Amino acid sequence: MTEAVASERSADVIVVGAGPAGSTTAYYLAKAGLDVLLLEKTTFPREKVCGDGLTPRATKQLVGMGIDISEEAGWLRNKGLRIIAGGVRLQLDWPELASFPDYGLVRKREDFDELLARQAEKAGARLYERCNVGAPIRDERTGRITGVEAKLGEEKTPVTFHAPLVVAADGNSTRLSLAMGLHRREDRPMGVAVRTYFTSPRHEDDYLESWLELWDKRGPEDRLLPGYGWIFGMGDGTSNVGLGILNSSSAFKELDWREVLKSWCASMPEDWGYTDDNQIGPIRGAALPMAFNRQPHYTRGLLLVGDAGGLVNPFNGEGIAYAMESGQIAADVIVQAHARQTSGQRELALQAYPRILKDTYGGYYTLGRAFVKMIGNPKVMKVATQRGLTHPMLMKFTLKLLANLTDPVGGDAMDRVINGLTKVAPRS
């Protein structure tokens, strides 16, 4: 290997995966002046299973990265959340807060991820597409990761990349983490999301719509399932229609969720357009790794961000905001560690990453795990939807809790209650 090629394939940090977590990490690292390799196994644009709806929490991250989120740039704004259950239809605006904007966004993942990856490139990150990362390269003496093996391009040319730090942003499957001995925790909730697109007159809806009662109507008796359905207008003539289910249900492994989605769509008004004739593309599914289901988030030169570290919100299945936030946190820690003078000092700085994540999300995710167990009981879910929706103030509180939208300082009484609960809950 020539010296030029060797330098091309060496960097301060390697980021594996150019989804929201990886691209955000790479963006902030490059912006701080570090040499970053961003390795993506596919080519852009590429589809990814997602609801495509972004809360104010994710919107804040996009603004921070300098992404153009104007309507002219193809974004559809939403004012809040419409909740439907128990015969009640409740429309809630996103809260007005100092910490977050009062609107969310909708954008197809088909080009959303590419926008972030290109922004990381503009900041200076070196993006390799069609780069399928395989085994980690480890120091035989210490076991630390020092790079990755990969197959590059259509020819699948074997290559190696080297860096003293590697960030796993390779999603729920995270082969890199598994190769480093980091396995999924079975005591943490897991979800599955399935979705498809329909041409629909409802495509310009300026509220995200959530159906809290999701019924399986194919047995002798109707069965209420844990989870929720969603309808998000995309602003382009189509709607994203999907459902998210939690493994706290006894039905989690029994049912074909694609068939449940078809059955649910068939029960909707025909003029909405959610019919076979209007369906665009197949029904696709993806796993939702929740509440720190893979730990530790830093070990032996490897940091986990986004889905690789199980950062999906167990309350509402939101992953993009936490993917981007964890990427920014990881980048901040790495930048500080990079500036330390000795390997011992750098390691000390890196060890802070898991602690910061637990301080930031640990208590909230613990509450979310309790919530998941609770709604796994169909009786509890039924009472919650039938009674709770008739109390707008209670639902406003619930919206703040489920979407994790509060002001940490100077908020209202609801903010103080939610913040207080997250502080006293265990941070595991």
The predicted structure's pLDDT at residue 336: 98
Per-residue pLDDT reduced to its tens digit, 102-125:
999 999 998 999 999 999 999 999
The two structure tokens encoding residue 120: 């990381």
Whole-number pLDDT of residue 220: 76
d(CA 23, CA 20): 5
Q: For 306, how many CA atoms within 13 A lie in the half-sphere containing its CB? A: 30
Residue 243, pLDDT score: 92
Give me the pLDDT at residue 225, please.
Answer: 66
The pLDDT of residue 371 is: 87
Q: Is residue 216 part of a domain?
A: no
What is the distance between the alpha carbons of residues 221 and 301, in angstroms, rounded to a whole number?
Answer: 53
CA-closest candidate to residue 293, choices 357, 356, 371: 357
Distance separating alpha carbons of residues 223 and 236, to the nearest angstrom: 34
For the ranges 1-15, 204-218, 329-343, which has the lowest average pLDDT? 1-15
* Helical H segments across 267-409, by residue range: 320-338, 343-350, 352-357, 363-375, 378-388, 392-403
**Could you tell me the pLDDT band of residue 381, with boundaries at 50, 70 and 90?**
low
Dist CA 150 CA 131 (whole Å):
6
Higher pLDDT among residues 214 and 283, named by residue: 283
pLDDT band at 253 (very low <50, low <70, confident <90, very high): confident
Q: Which of 150, 155, 149, 158 is nearest to 131 (CA)?
A: 150
From CA 422, how far away is CA 410, in angstroms rounded?
A: 16
Cβ of 310: how many Cβ atoms within 10 Å?
Answer: 27
Q: Is 263 helix (H, G, I), strand (E, B) or coil?
A: helix
Q: Give me the pLDDT at residue 49, please.
A: 85
DSSP state of 74: T
Q: Specify the higher pLDDT residue, 116 or 395.
A: 116
Report, as an integer, the average pLDDT of 322-336. Answer: 98
| Of 133-142, 165-174, 225-234, minimum mean pLDDT range | 225-234
CA dihedral 404, 59, 303, 288 (to 10 degrees): 60
Higher pLDDT, 382 or 394: 394
How much is the average pLDDT of 32-45? Answer: 96
Render 282-317 in DSSP notation, one character per residue.
EEEEEEEEBSS-B--SEETTEEE-GGGGT-B-TTT-
Question: 373: pLDDT confidence band, cut at 50, 70 and 90?
Answer: confident
Other CB atoms within 10 A of residue 380 CB: 13
> Does 63 have pLDDT greater than 80?
yes
- Within a domain: residue 354? yes
Q: Is 23 exposed, middle or buried (0-12, 13-18, 19+ CB in 10 A)?
A: buried
Residue 5 has what pLDDT?
Answer: 57
- Position 237 pLDDT exceeds 60: yes
Q: Residue 382: pLDDT above 80? A: no
Under 8 Å CB-to-CB from 117, ≥6 apart: which residues? 18, 23, 38, 40, 44, 127
Exposed, middle or buried, 111 (CB in 10 Å: 0-12/13-18/19+)? Answer: middle
pLDDT beyond 60 at 258: yes
CB 40 within 8 A of CB 127: yes
Q: Would 73 be classed as within a structural domain? A: yes
Residue 352's CATH number: 3.50.50.60
pLDDT band at 216 (very low <50, low <70, confident <90, very high): low
Number of domains the chain is built from: 1
The answer to whether residue 196 is domain-embedded is no
- Give the C-alpha separation, 201 to 183, whole Å: 44
> In the predicted model, what is the mean pLDDT of residues 128-143?
96
Question: What would the mean pLDDT of 349-360 be, rounded to a whole number?
Answer: 98
For the stretch 170-187, what's the b/e string if a residue is b when 16 or more beta carbons lie within 10 angstroms of its beta carbon?
bbbebbbbebbebebeee
- Could you tell me the residue range of the domain that residue 60 belongs to? 3-77+107-186+291-366
pLDDT over threshold 80, residue 87:
no
The arithmetic mean of pLDDT across residues 140-158, rounded, is: 96
Structural domain includes residue 98: no
54 and 105 in contact (C-beta within 8 Å)? Answer: yes
Residue type for position 287: A
Residue 375 belongs to a domain: no
**CB-CB contact of 265 with 274 (8 Å):** yes
Specify if 409 maps to a domain.
no
d(CA 202, CA 209): 11
pLDDT higher than threshold 60 for residue 3: no
The pLDDT confidence band at residue 226, using thresholds 50, 70 and 90, is low
Establish if 27 belongs to a structural domain. yes
Average pLDDT, rounded, for the chain:
91
Q: Quick check: 300 and 144 in contact, CB under 8 A?
A: yes
Helix (H, G, I), strand (E, B) or coil at 245: strand
Query: Quick one: pLDDT at residue 372?
Result: 83
pLDDT at 209 over 60: yes
Under the banding of pLDDT at 50, 70 and 90, the label for residue 50 is confident
Please report the pLDDT score of residue 422 as a whole number.
95
